Amino acid sequence: MDFKGKTVYQIYPKSFCDTNGDGWGDLPGIISKLDYLKELGIDYIWLNAFFPSPQKDNGYDVQDYRSIDPRYGTMDDFLQLCAEAKDRGIDIMLDMVFNHTSTEHIWFKRALAGDPKYKNYYIWKKGKPGHQPPNNWQSKFGGSAWEYVAKYDEWYLHLFDVTQADLNWENPEVRKEMADIIRYWSEKGVHGFRFDVVNLISKGSYEDDPHHFDGRQFYTDGPRVHEYLRELNERSFGRDPQHLTVGEMSSTSIENCTEYAGHASNELDMVFSFHHLKVDYKDQKKWELMPFDFMELKRIMNEWQIGMQEKNAWNALFLNNHDQPRALSRFGDDQKYPKESAKMLATLIHMMRGTPYVYQGEELGMTNAYFSSIDQYRDVESKNIYRILLSQGRSKEEILHILQARSRDNSRTPMPWNDQKNGGFTSGTPWLSLADNYEKINAKKVLKDPDSVFAHYQKLIALRKKMRIIQDGIYVPRLEENQSVFAYERRLGKESLIVINNFYGKMTEVEIPHLHQYQILLSNYKDSRAEDALQLRPYESIVLYFKGAVE
């Protein structure tokens, strides 16, 4: 399938639209907003995990891969969603959490009950002397990655929450189960799959991390991961000519990703990588704040664009998702230049080589929540780090400031549909508070505004559908040494597309020869000009096009 002209829209179902007043988004709510999504112009809806779950990690602790959590609706609702989306030219992409299951999953319960078949679905090891875990690996949510079970005098691995037991992909029966699950959903009309932290499924050796970091070098991009993905492709989604797949790759490398998403790799269609979203981590630590390093952001994004291009591999393009704070609050200016910087960030991503992903509310210009009390947070990771930092002697005020910048709940606040109570998200009490600015930033308001962030996204999505140069053109960095402008060129035959983005709230000048011969396709200011010497205003973003020989 040729997916290069398509755009994916990510829905966090819990926070999208609630129709029954329980404060929790549902499938009928998504159905009710399909016309809105059609108007935006997207081609795929990626739904975050909506399977039955104890919700220790917002649904990424799956209890049953073949059912829908009743809080979201029924299988009939899901089939209706697939059919009504298809009527509007939109396909569905599901989230597959295949690295681990909930400890409430029947497989794990059978393992605990003593069934050797299901015990072998998970990773168990003997501890060290003195009742110590098998090694010093750390869970990504804090604390040891191992949990002791007295019945076996063994420990099971959980790279995430203690209720998320890692699956044993060395076991062929586990791999067969995974392929069966994908075929089950494919038969219901699903053509897209996003695989959660899928590059962690092959563990290497189980030795101690000598650097006392967290052990990730022993299980990231592991020794058999490419083999497992090729097998999964062959047994499941690869049989569907319309399939679209994306892998979420944790702490990965370009070398591995060119194989995961290479044109002829027979693994996945594209990959998410996250290096560009760590450029504001002080000393590479998520909970240590610093202003984002613009030159590093530019370097990493250029490196991935070129590295993937050289091996004919494909990127998933994004700045926002359900695990990241809002990009507008992070890389833009959500107070002084909210509209300009939101449009600039969108242009940066959408004109690149790859498939753009729009996370719900991004197209409205949604910001971080800026919650003022720990009681407003719901995310397990945020609550854990609050306790950990308190125990380290940090003040409550300092920790709240960190969470305002970093918490995953920043992106999970409910979608504001209008300026009424709870933003029209629910008639009940929302599971998580809305951001306070929903009366100003909501779908009803932006749909009336021809100059809105939403209108800008519509134009970007339409340009990608229309122009082969955006889909197929090569990527060439420009102005690489400029300290405040992110510019690049796309080339295809005699066509050239130049994208110029001022990343700061101050004027800056750039010079690009022959630019006066280009036409402006899109800008976030009404009166931008095509001149060889450009005076860029705060967060100004311009897309310019030329076809023919430059004189």
- Residues with a known catalytic role: 196, 248
The CA angle 505-507-512, to the nearest 5 degrees, is 120
Measuring CA to CA, how many Å separate 126 from each of 111, 116, 146, 165?
A: 16, 16, 10, 16
Query: Are the beta carbons of 164 and 57 closer than 8 angstroms?
Result: yes
Query: Are the beta carbons of 20 and 368 closer than 8 angstroms?
Result: no
3-class DSSP state for residue 86?
helix
**Torsions phi, psi of 216, nearest 5?**
-60, -25
d(CA 461, CA 456): 9
Q: How many CB atoms lie within 10 A of CB 278?
A: 16
Two structure tokens written together for 498: 């130049």
d(CA 93, CA 311): 26
d(CA 44, CA 7): 7
d(CA 407, CA 142): 15
Residue 35: what residue type? D
Query: Are the beta carbons of 165 and 158 closer than 8 angstroms?
Result: yes
- 3-state helix vs strand vs coil in the chain, percent to 5: 35, 20, 45
d(CA 35, CA 30): 10
Which is nearest to 549 in space by CA: 493, 499, 490, 478?
A: 493
Which is nearest to 544 in space by CA: 501, 481, 484?
A: 501
User: Sign of the C-alpha dihedral, residues 387, 390, 395, 398?
Assistant: negative
Contacts of 72 (CB under 8 A, 6+ apart): 13, 14, 24, 25, 26, 27, 50
Q: How far apart are the first and last CA of the chain?
A: 38
Q: Give the number of C-alpha atoms closer than 13 A to the C-alpha of residue 115, restricted to the C-beta side.
A: 11
Strand locations in 262-393, DSSP E? 270-272, 316-317, 355-359
**Torsions phi, psi of 473, nearest 5?**
-65, 150
Two structure tokens written together for 277: 């979203």
HEC string for 298-313:
HHHHHHHHHHHHHCCE
| Secondary structure letter of residue 132 according to DSSP | B
**Torsions phi, psi of 404, nearest 5?**
-60, -30
**Torsions phi, psi of 214, nearest 5?**
-155, 0
d(CA 551, CA 539): 30
**Torsions phi, psi of 187, nearest 5?**
-65, -20
